[in-house]
Structure 1
Amino acid sequence: MRIGLLTEGGYPHAAGESGLWCDRLVRGLAPHEFDLYALSRDARQEAAGRLPLPPNVRGVRTAPLWTPEDDTRGPGRARGRGYGRRDRRRFEDAFRELAEGVCAADPAGDGTDRPAADGGPERFAAGLYGLAELARESGGLAAALRSESVVRVLEAACRAPGARRGVAAATVPDQLAFTEQLERALRPLSLGWYDEEAGLDGTAGGLGLVDLCHAASAGAAALPGLLAKRFFGTPLLVTEYGVQLRAHYLAATDAPLTTPVRALLAAFHGRLAGEVYRQAALLTPGNAHARRWQEKCGADRARLRTVHPGMDAERFAEVGEDEESGDPATLSWIGRVEPAKDLVALLHAFAEVRRQQPDARLRIVAAPVTEPGAAAYLAHCRGLAEQLFPDEAAGAHAIGENPVSFEELGGPEAPSLEEAYAASAVVVLSSVVEGFPVGLVEAMFCARATVSTDVGAVVEVIGGTGLVVPPRNPKALADACLALLRDPDRRYRLGAAARARALELFTVEQNLAAFRGIYLELLSHSPVRRRTTSGVPFAHPAESHVPGSWADQPVTAAAGAGDPDA
């Protein structure tokens, strides 16, 4: 089978967890061939280089979403400048449909007192595909999306009866700011990926050659998959381990944008996610938290199948099998420093723990700081620790007796994740926002008892093998930590149960087995579009191996089986 793997801001560039799961998938399903279609988010990501690719990756096509360049189709492609009169009319008609679909209030209501406009999602989809067909036939959309007509059309859509609350107040600067964001979000429509030509050396072929598109998110990465389905009938599989729509909402909140621009962007990304969810042959959320978001955005429950992320359990095997390791008075927090992790609440909780159990220690083991603002937040937490524990911070105790230590992962105190977990009696997660808690699963592989806040997919991951408390509640966090520190037998029982659960649900092997079955299931319901050339048994449906001219025609397996004269 030939898979088109669609990513945004991840594989093959990313070396973090967002890139590792794709790498494990490609390597673990070696009998299948993969073409990679990667959208990059910034220059730093591209400068970091790519991960080494396995031999079953036939080629890679990349496109930046961050450059000001108004054409990403490559040399020799039309740039979309100077549309003729007919194409200008086509563009305006399609953009009007998309803009009115974005601005229309949902029938369920978005807080507006005005009547909801009909067919918002349908009009959005009609406009989206109209723009895609124009870009495919006549060149890129960048210049057209910066034209004066776009502002006029958008202004009319914002002020139309039934528009959502917030967009009617949009001014010309707001509309220009939105169209600038929109041009980048729609840039995949103008890429030269939509053909049935084989790629050159080192590049993937056109999406018309793949048997299945697998998108690693429902945002911009899934746009090429939507077009491949429309142009070629290629089935689309969408996997979300973090909900892309939720990430857009959070990013817009932090960005220096006006309220109307935020409303327009939120509406656009909501419509795009809804269209992806409706068109996908199957959706594989990584947890129940992502699944609920998908259902709320219109995904059909019958096409939802939870597939938990696959993680490497082998590296933690030695720690998990050693029940005697770990300081019985040590709490550990291990992760990436950012305000959403709420280390402030953790430090206040530990102050209460320390008052009731004077020998308790807290290790904060942080990944190397790279994100903007992370160093300032870490400095703030260090200052708070000095205020809460002034005697120890001032050096009143001997070296090693300071109850709170700030350590960097990879440094002399915590050279590896395995050693950081091994030194812990209890692992704590204090987040106020969390998607899939990777660090929690690592602690479970290490057979460590855990105390976590009830956010994201935490309850689903823990499944009764650890203690869960409300977020932003230092007293509850402290009580749960004390309960486990004072009861070693309970710690061991919970740790053993946690490790058994993690090995059953969250390993690379279970993840690969799930996707191996899903690929074959989706292809069994799809047309036989070409002869097999790989020579790999079962890489294509059995019908494609039957001799005769019909094998090259786009017939379904069911049709071929039911017609003895085919």
Structure 2
Amino acid sequence: MEMDFGRYDIVHSALAGFSGLIGIIQKLEHGASYILTEHAIYYKERIYDLVGCGDSYRRFWSMVFRKVSELNYYWADRIVTVSRSNMRWQKELGADEEKIRIIPNGVDVNRFKPISGKADRWSVVSITRIDPLKDIINLIEAMSYVVSEVPEARCYIYGPVTDHRYMDHCEARVGDLGLKDHIKFMGYISNPEMAYNRGWVVVQPSMSEGAPIAVIEAMACGKPVVATDVGGVSEILGDAGILVPPRNPRTLARGILKVLSDEELARELGLRARMRVLREFPMSRIVGEYREIYHDLIRAHGVEGNTSRDLETRSCLKPHSGSDLSLCRS
């Protein structure tokens, strides 16, 4: 089967996975520049997905995923990563350090901002997809310890279900622990800034992350964050939140209780978080850094003219919702 993908000056993939193969083909056939951005390490997260599979199946797909990632790293002209933690993984998987540039995730600080009077005093909020990698069970079990000390505590979990079997497991665990009055699954939300502002504390309980945008969004809303120390989370939080080990519900509960029980600490962490985002993660700064990469590659193609001047309005700098691939066509 032959597929015509057209001809492009720049291909930009958001995964070092199969979608990136289009960029490699365009580079080999038409001389396109290929940009690779990894928010989370594709190979690492696929390995987590293979947990519980048979040995032969796991070995085969582990090899395939690794080779696909290595191909992406080898042929990419620029590799953008969102954290130093990701960079270490990429180098271990063979990426050339000379091609790697760290550009953190950013948020719209005018949309994600504190809203006075919205917080429920004893509310815990988490915005995440319902997926084993996000370790919702960690948060559910932590809430059992929280509720034993603060019976007023309520946890609101927002986000889409990507694994329905895991969702069933989460709901069963809530029932087993007698937490149906304390933990609510709220589903997808189109205005997450309102949910963050509802919380007294925001929690990220994952077992694996790149540099989670949800943590940055919560910080931009002036919320204290309790998060597991995975991926680039510590690079985001700095001294503006509480880090705990992953897969440890008791320690996660202690972090949550620390914020719930100390209003002054909650205010101080929230203020530090907002100021850190304004300084380090405004979307305008992040877009500017990506634009610089695009300009460099366009100049290398010798098509600076109108293409460079019109870059701000072309599809390659617009969000591609639900897609891990964008194309800049000449």
Asked whether the two chains share a fold, i.e. TM above 0.5, the reply is yes
Residue deviations 1:86-130 (CA, integer Å, cap 9, x gap):
xxxxxxxxxxxxxxxxxxxxxxxxxxxxxxxxxxxxxxxxxxxxx
The equivalent residue for 1:439 is: 214
Q: 1:234 to 1:321 in 2, by over 3 A?
A: same
CA distance in 2, matches of 1:417, 1:453: 21
Paired amino acid for 1:463: G
The alignment status of 1:192 with 2:4, answered yes or no, reads yes
Aligned counterpart, 1:362: 154
Report the AA paired with residue 131 of structure 2.
E
2:226 to 421, 435, 451: 451
Q: Which amino acid aligns with 2:96?
A: D
Alignment of 1:355-504 (within 5 A): 355-358=148-151, 360-369=152-161, 371-386=163-178, 402=181, 404-409=182-187, 416-504=191-279
8 A Cα contact 1:327 1:424, kept in partner: yes
Query: Corresponding residue for 2:111?
Result: 315
**In structure 2, do the counterparts of structure 1 residues 307 and 326 end up closer, same or farther at CA, with 3 Å as the change threshold?**
same
Structure 2: runs of 5 or more not aligned: 312-330
Change in CA separation of 1:276 and 1:445 when aligned onto 2, cut-off 3 Å: same
Any conservation in 2 of the 1:312–1:508 contact (CA below 8 Å)?
yes
Aligned pairs for 1:541-552 within 5 A: none
How far apart are 1:321 and its partner, in Å?
Answer: 5.0
Conserved 8 A contact 1:338-1:377? no
The match for 2:82 is: 286
How far apart are 1:215 and its partner, in Å?
2.2
Structure 1 residues 248 and 340: CA distance shift in structure 2, 3 A:
closer
Quick one: structure 1 residues 222 and 488, their matched pair in 2 at CA, closer, same or farther if it must change by over 3 Å?
A: same
Tell me how far apart the structure 1 counterparts of residues 124 and 157 of structure 2 sit (CA, whole Å).
11
Tell me the SS of whatever aligns to 1:246. helix
Q: Summarize the alignment of residues 163-202 of structure 1 with structure 2, pairs less than 5 Å apart.
A: 191-193=3-5
Q: Which residue of 2 aligns with 1:352?
A: 145
**Equivalent residues of 1:346, 1:430 under 8 A apart:** yes
The equivalences for 1:218-367 within 5 A come to: 218-253=16-51, 258-317=54-113, 320-322=114-116, 324-358=117-151, 360-367=152-159
Q: What are the superposed Cα offsets for residues 433-462 of structure 1, whole Å, 9 maximum, x if unpaired?
A: 333323222211210111111122211221
- Tell me the CA shift for residue 223 of structure 1: 1.7
Q: CA deviation at 1:531?
A: 9.3
Instruction: Give the aligned length.
Output: 311
8 Å CA contact retained: 1:409, 1:417: no
Provide the secondary structure at the position in 2 that maps to 1:314.
Answer: coil
Q: What code does the residue aligned with 2:130 have? A: V
CA distance in 1, matches of 2:243, 2:308: 48
State the identity %: 27
* Structure label with greater radius of gyration: 1
Report the Cα offset of residue 539 of structure 1. 5.8
What is the CA distance between 1:298 and its match in structure 2?
A: 1.1
- In the alignment, the residues of structure 2 paired with residue 303 and residue 377 of structure 1 have an alpha-carbon distance, to the nearest angstrom, of 42
Residue matched to 1:143: none
Decide whether the 8 Å contact of 1:337 with 1:377 is kept in 2.
no
Compared CA separation, residues 216 and 463, structure 1 to 2 (3 A): same
Matching of residues 3-42 of structure 1 within 5 Å: none
Output the amino acid matched with 2:177: A
What amino acid does structure 1 have at the position aligned with 2:35? L
Assess if the C-alpha contact under 8 Å between 2:135 and 2:206 holds in 1. Answer: yes
- SS of the residue corresponding to residue 316 of structure 1 reads coil
CA distance in 1, matches of 2:308, 2:107: 28
Name the structure, 1 or 2, with higher relative contact order (CA <8 Å, separation 6+): 2
1:282 CA displacement:
1.2
Matching residue's letter, 1:363: C
What's the offset of the Cα at 1:428? 1.6
Distance 1:432 1:237 in 2: 28
SS in 2 for 1:350: helix
| Deviation of 1:330 (Å) | 2.5
Assess if the C-alpha contact under 8 Å between 2:106 and 2:213 holds in 1: no
Q: Distance in 1 between matches of 2:170 and 2:192?
A: 19
**SS of equivalent to 1:369:** coil
Structure 2 counterpart of 1:128: none
What stretches of structure 1 of length at least 5 have no aligned partner?
1-70, 74-190, 194-205, 394-401, 541-566
Task: Give the conservation status (yes or no) of the 8 Å contact 1:339–1:377.
Answer: no
The letter for the 1-side match of 2:140 is: L
Mapped partners of 1:240, 1:216: distance in 2: 6
Equivalent residue number for residue 213 of structure 1: 11
Q: Give the match's secondary structure for 1:443.
A: helix
Cα 1:248–1:422, aligned 2, differ >3 Å: closer, same or farther?
A: closer
* 1:232 to partner: Cα distance: 3.3
> Structure 1's 275 and 354: CA in aligned 2 closer, same or farther, altered over 3 A?
closer
For residues 486 and 475 of structure 1, what CA distance do their matches in structure 2 show? 16
Shift of 1:266: 2.2
Q: How far off is 1:503 after superposition?
A: 2.9
Residue 245 of structure 1 aligns to which amino acid in structure 2? Y
CA RMSD, Structure 1 to Structure 2 (Å): 2.8
C-alpha distance in 2, partners of 1:346/1:276? 35
Q: What CA distance in whole angstroms lies between the structure 2 residues aligned with 1:227 and 1:434?
A: 29
Q: C-alpha distance in 1, partners of 2:272/2:120?
A: 20
> 1:465 Cα shift?
0.6
